[in-house]
Structure formats: C-alpha cells, structure tokens
Amino acid sequence: MYRSNTCGDLRLTDAEKEVTLAGWVSKIRRMGGMTFIDLRDRYGITQLSFSQDADRTLCQQAGTLGREWVIRVTGTVKERSSKIPHIPTGDIEITVTTLTVLNPSKTPPFTIETETDGGDDLRMKYRYLDLRRNVVRQNLELRHKMAFETRRYLDQRGFLEIETPVLIGSTPEGARDFIVPSRMNPGQFYALPQSPQLFKQLLMVSGLDRYFQIVKCFRDEDLRADRQPEFTQIDCEMSFVRQEDILQLFEGLTKHLFHTILNREIPDFPRLSYADAMRLYGSDKPDTRFEMTLTALKDLTGGRNFPLFDTAEYIGGIRVTGSAGVTRRQLDELTDFVKRPQIGATGLIHVRYGSDGTLKSSVDKYYTEDDLRKWADRSGARPGDLILILAGETEKTRKQLSELRLEMGSRQGLRDKNNFQCLWVTDFPLLEKDETLNRFFAKHHPFTSPRPEDIPLLDTDPGAVRANAYDMIINGVEIGGGSIRIHDSGLQKKMFTILGFTDERAQEQFGFLMNAFRYGAPPHGGIAFGLDRFVSVFAGLDSIRDCIAFPKNNAGRDVMIDAPSRVEQEQLDELGISLKPVD
C-alpha cells in the first residue's frame, strides 16, 4: 500500500505516530512561515502542515502543489492548536517529513466542493471529477448499502439471486425494445430486456420458489425528466404465495432498509385501495406526508344556476390550512399553475374562511354564505383556512386537484424530505380501456391475476375487475409494484381473448411461457422495485440522475464518453445491416 492510513482514520489517540497518507490536494493555505494542505480521499480530510523553520525546501515544494494533485506524505501525527470540531480528524494534523508527487493535475473545470460552481452539463462531461464531490459520492455509497442490505435480507429468507439473460428476444408489446443485431445469425436481432418478467415466471415453473435479482433493464423511450434508457430493478418472484405474503415480506424489506441504513423505525404501512387513493388524493401514488385530501362537493352545489358546476361531473376541493389570507396575486399564480397545459384545468375557484368566521368566495354571485359553510364543513375547514376547488370530468379533475395539492403541500413546507411516509396501494383495475381504440389493455401486464371474487365480472363488466396488484409508494413516489400472476391456463386464455389477442398472436408472443405453464406452474407472484428511485428517495434527491455513477442525458447520450456514436462501415457489413439515408 502507498499509505499506512486513510485521510479519515487518524484521531488524537494516534498522536506522535509516524504515518503515511496519500490523496488529493483539496486546499492549500500559506500563513507566515507555514503551509497547510487539506489532503482528501474517499474517507475524509486530514490537514498536513509544513514549516519553513523545520524544512525550507519541503515547505517550498508544498507551496508549488496545485489543487487535485495526487501526493503521498510521511510525517508525524500532532495535536492541532486550533481544532475543528465538525470533522472527525479535526483534532490532529500531520507534520510532514517526506512529500512525493504521485501525479499532478490540471486545474479542474469546476470546484470539487459540495457547493460547486460547475453547471449540470460541465459536471456530466467531467463526471469523474464530479464524483469526487462528497455529496455525489455519498449517493453511490448509499446505493451500494441499499443493494447490499437488500441482498442480505432476501438471502436470509431463502431467495436465490439468479441472473437472467440480457440478450433475449424482442416482444413488440408496450414500450420499445433496444435491439442488437446478431452477426452469427444474419438478419436476426436480440433485444435487451425491459424487465426479466417472463424469465422470473419461468423460474417459478422451474420450482426455484424464491427468486430475486438486482438487474439492469432497458427501455428505448423518449426520455422524460426522471427516466434513463437503462435502469436498475430489484426484481423478485415467489411461489405458493398470496398477495398478503408478498406485501408482508417486502414491507419487511423496506423497514429493514430504513432501519439499517437511515436508522429509522417505520410503522406498518397503511393500505389504500386504488379507488380510495383516487378519491382521497386524486393519484395512485399519493404523497401521504400531509393530509389535504380531496373533498367531493358536487351534491352541495346544485340549484344555484352556476353553469360550470351544474355541468361538471365532479367538483372537488382541498382545504389549505391557515391560508385564508392568501393575496390576489398568489391566487392568480395558482390559477396560472392549474391552467398550465401539463395540468389543464380551465380555472380555479376559492373560498376564504376568514378568521372572523365569514366565508367569501370567487363564486359569491351564485352561492350564499350558507352554501359556502356547507362546503367548508364537509372539507373540515376552520376559520383561517382556504378552500381551492376544481370542477370537470371526474378522473381528470381529481388528477388536477392532486397536482394542486402537491403544489400547496410544497408551499406549506409539508413535504419534508426527512419525513418518510410509506403505503401500499392495492386493488388496481385489471384492465384499462382505450376509448378511441375501444379495446382493453392490461393495466399491469397480461399475466396479472384478477381478484378471485371479481372473475365473474370478466364476462359482464371487464372494466370493473380488480387485480391482485399492488404498488409501494413512499412520499408520493412509486418505489415498486407487482402482482399475483395467473397460473391457470384457462384463465390466461380468457385474458388474452379480452385483450384482443388471437390464439396465433398469443402463441407467437408468449408461446414459450404458455408452453411452460402446461408443465405444472405453481401459484406465484412478485414485485419489482426501481432501485434508482428507491435510492433517490432515501437520499432526498429530486432526480434519479445523481444516484447513478454514469447517467445519460435527456437525449440518451453519455456526454462523458460521447456515446452513442458512428461505427465503422466494416462493422455494419459484418452484421449485414446498412444505414438508411436520412431524408
């Protein structure tokens, strides 16, 4: 080793020891006849001291070093005269006797500090320097710990981590596959998996009973803010289980992670049906760090000839505590907020519940104070509160109210990143109807089992059938989701019929799984967690990007290595493909 200790090791109890350290020059300070260097490595920072009186040459040499140079020093651990209490090595410094430059450094393009002067693009281009910053490195350390503790928890419970192939076949359903031309099979392509779904179900047919894998998955989608073309899943499947078994086991995993990593004890997760989540929060991934639930008001608004409310399918409000004193300008801002195309409301109605008990609204023309009081009472509003109301088609309006609720929660400081609220959302609809195509699609995927008591509805009212499907939500982020699968081939066949698959098409796309199911498939189910999101929620990050060592940008590019890129014509020739001229 080039060192006897790391830069995070040494304490006052090590005083007078001779040590050798190696690391990066973080700061240089010259004071009178002294030069001080903060030497940094992954483990901490240790102060080096050089004195002109003791060794003029060495002290001068130290003065010539630059930021981010890699050096190695030998010296003696000394108690510092001015201690720095907030860093673990703050009681000591090293009086250096030997200094070796292991590698010089150009001046980095941005400062390697928690608060850096580097913009996003620059930091991504020089990601290897960005990773030297404590805040970024800590995210990777957290990610390592979460993955490791996940493995430990599952290993202790008899799960086997089994690698499924990355080069698989393309399935035209759903999001786009990345495809990989096969040189040995000209004209044919592998595809990269969007998830190991089919393979994990095959492993259950194989009797492996408890499977997991922390695995890269791939989706060639147009990238939104928080998506990456490659992402990591904690993918799990179990046999001979019912929904309750899966919820218990993976609620346990999540509690284990909170306990071992953040030292937090999380109480049993509340459970909310999809219907209730939509009714109370307007979202299937509610942020339950704060109340401000939706109140339906339609039945209290009739007979006053207000056309907007009279024609609306749904009218709902949220109560904003202590905000009756909101300014006109703030209300205009909120109106603009809900009118943004991403939200799409036509307007915002408000009711102020004055601290003197009076009620005033933007629809005073139509509604009496008594009317308003009924709304306020149902909303649970008290003097000093504000009620914000939207009206329109039920599902859309609830979603708009959900967005408004999140915005108000943020404005009121109710979305503390250190407050973790977990829950299960259950009883998702099995099917979703595409009204324009007049066709049902699987909400989760075509192997999701309906709730047994809803199976008769498959023939009469498919849209009402609830699935044995569940999502785990933390602070409004969908961390994981899964379902109990269909293991009965008759039921599976019925599902394919409802989804509009011909026998041929079902056989073509899922044939090998359906064949496998003919040889004794056990009842089974599973769940998959998005590791990137899981880590970013633990770290309190706004984007998954900062918990990924080498992320891609919104155009799917790695700007550091400049990929993707053109390849040699020779390579294309070998693969039997050619580029189409761009129009």
User: Which of positions 72-131 make contact with its own copies (CB under 8 A)?
Assistant: 102-106, 108, 126-129, 131
- Residue choice 87, 168, 266, 363 for contact with its own copies (CB under 8 A): 168
Interactions with its own copies, residue window 518-537 (CB under 8 A): 518-523
In whole angstroms, the minimum distance from the beta carbon of 11 to its own copies comes to 18
Please, are residues 369 and 352 in contact by the beta-carbon 8 Å criterion? no
State which of residues 55, 95, 110, 137 lies at the interface with its own copies (CB under 8 A): 137
CA angle 117, 120, 126 (to 5 degrees): 85
Burial label, 573 (beta-carbon count in 10 A; 0-12, 13-18, 19+) = exposed
- Report the SS3 class of residue 516: helix
* Stretch binding its own copies (CB under 8 A), from 228-236, 412-420, 434-442, 475-483: 228-236
Q: How many CB atoms lie within 10 A of CB 514?
A: 17
Any contact of residue 514 with its own copies (CB under 8 A)?
no
Distance CA 228, CA 220 (A): 9
- Site pattern 269..298 for its own copies (x: CB under 8 A): ------------------------------
Q: How far is the CB of 6 from its own copies (least distance, A)?
A: 8
205 is a contact residue toward its own copies (CB under 8 A): yes
Q: What is residue 580's DSSP assignment?
A: P
Terminus-to-terminus CA distance in the chain, angstroms?
Answer: 58
Query: Which is closer to its own copies, CB of 122 or CB of 560?
Result: 560
Question: CA 251, 285, 399: angle at the middle one, nearest 5?
Answer: 165
Count the residues of the shown chain that bind its own copies, applying the rule CB under 8 A: 124
CB of 211 to its own copies, least distance (A): 9
Residues in 181-200 that interact with its own copies by CB under 8 A: 181-192, 198-199
- Residue 8-37 contact track with its own copies, rule CB under 8 A, x = bound: --------------xxx-------------
The separation between CA 104 and the C-alpha centre of its own chain, rounded to angstroms, equals 38
Q: Is 113 or 161 the residue whose CB approaches its own copies more closely? A: 161
Q: Which is nearer to its own copies, 346 or 554 (CB)?
A: 554
Q: Hey, which residues between 443 and 472 contact its own copies (CB under 8 A)?
A: none
Residues 6+ apart with CB under 8 A from 50: 34, 35, 36, 37, 58, 59, 62, 63, 96, 99
Closest separation in Å from C-beta 125 to its own copies? 9
* Min CB(216)–its own copies separation in Å: 5
| Euclidean distance between CA atoms 512 and 508, whole angstroms | 8
Nearest-approach distance from CB 255 to its own copies, in angstroms: 20
Nearest Cα to Cα of residue 136 among 548, 526, 433: 548
Considering only 34, 87, 179, 296, the residue that binds its own copies (CB under 8 A) is 179
216 binds its own copies (CB under 8 A): yes
Q: What angle do CA 252, 282, 531 make, to 5 degrees?
A: 35
Nearer to its own copies, 240 or 332 (CB): 240
DSSP letter, residue 448: B
Cβ 308 to its own copies shortest distance, Å:
42
240: left (phi over 0), alpha (psi -120 to 50) or beta: left
Q: Rounded to an integer, what distance in angstroms lies between the CA atom of residue 478 and that of residue 157?
A: 24
Phi and psi at residue 581, to the nearest 5°: -60, 140
Output the smallest distance, CB 62 to its own copies, in A. Answer: 16
Site string for its own copies, 138-157 (x = CB under 8 A): --xx-xx--xx--xx--x--
Instruction: Report DSSP state, residue 267.
Output: P
Q: Give the Cα separation of 344 and 365 in Å (integer).
A: 25
Residue 491 touches its own copies, criterion: CB under 8 A: no
Of 36, 178, 420, 441, the one binding its own copies by CB under 8 A: 178
Least distance between its own copies and beta carbon 177 (Å): 8
Q: Least distance in Å: CB of 575 to its own copies?
A: 7
Task: Closer to its own copies by CB, 364 or 574: give it.
Answer: 574
Site for its own copies in 36-65 (CB under 8 A): 40-43
DSSP class of residue 165?
Answer: P
The CA distances from residue 43 to 46, 101, 137, in Å, are: 10, 20, 11
Amino acid, res. 430: L
Residue 262 or 414 with smaller CB distance to its own copies: 262
The pair of structure tokens assigned to 271 is 């459970």
Judged by CB under 8 A, the chain residues 391 through 450 that form the site for its own copies are none
Q: Residue from 70, 294, 458, 484 that binds its own copies (CB under 8 A)?
A: 70
Of the CA atoms within 13 Å of residue 550, those in its CB half-sphere come to: 9
Cβ contact 408:292 at 8 Å: yes
Report the residue from 2, 79, 270, 416 that binds its own copies according to the rule CB under 8 A. Answer: 2
Q: Under the criterion CB under 8 A, does residue 163 sit at the interface with its own copies?
A: yes
Which residues are paired to 172 by β-bridges?
A: none
Task: Confirm or reject binding of residue 3 to its own copies (CB under 8 A).
Answer: yes
Q: Could you give the maximum distance between any two Cα atoms of the chain, in Å?
A: 93
For its own copies, the binding residues in 545-574 under the rule CB under 8 A are 548-550, 552, 555-558, 560-568, 571, 573-574
Strands laid side by side in the 386-392 sheet: 295-296, 314-320, 386-392, 349-353, 359-361
Please identify which residue in 53, 222, 268, 435 interacts with its own copies, judged by CB under 8 A.
222
In angstroms, the CA 135 to CA 581 distance is 45
Nearer to its own copies, 69 or 309 (CB): 69
C-alpha to C-alpha distance for 300 and 351, rounded to whole angstroms: 14
Q: Contacting its own copies (CB under 8 A), which of 164, 243, 448, 509?
A: 164
| Paired strand residues for 25 | 39
> Contact, 384 vs 353, CB < 8 A?
yes
79: which 2 tokens?
Answer: 């108690």
Least distance CB 466 / its own copies (angstroms): 21
Query: Is residue 579 at the binding interface for its own copies, with CB under 8 A as the rule?
Result: yes
Q: Check binding of 383 to its own copies (CB under 8 A).
A: no
Q: Closest separation between CB of residue 148 and its own copies, Å?
A: 5
Instruction: Give the residue with the Cβ less far from its own copies, 140 or 343.
Output: 140
Residue 337 interacts with its own copies (CB under 8 A): yes or no: no
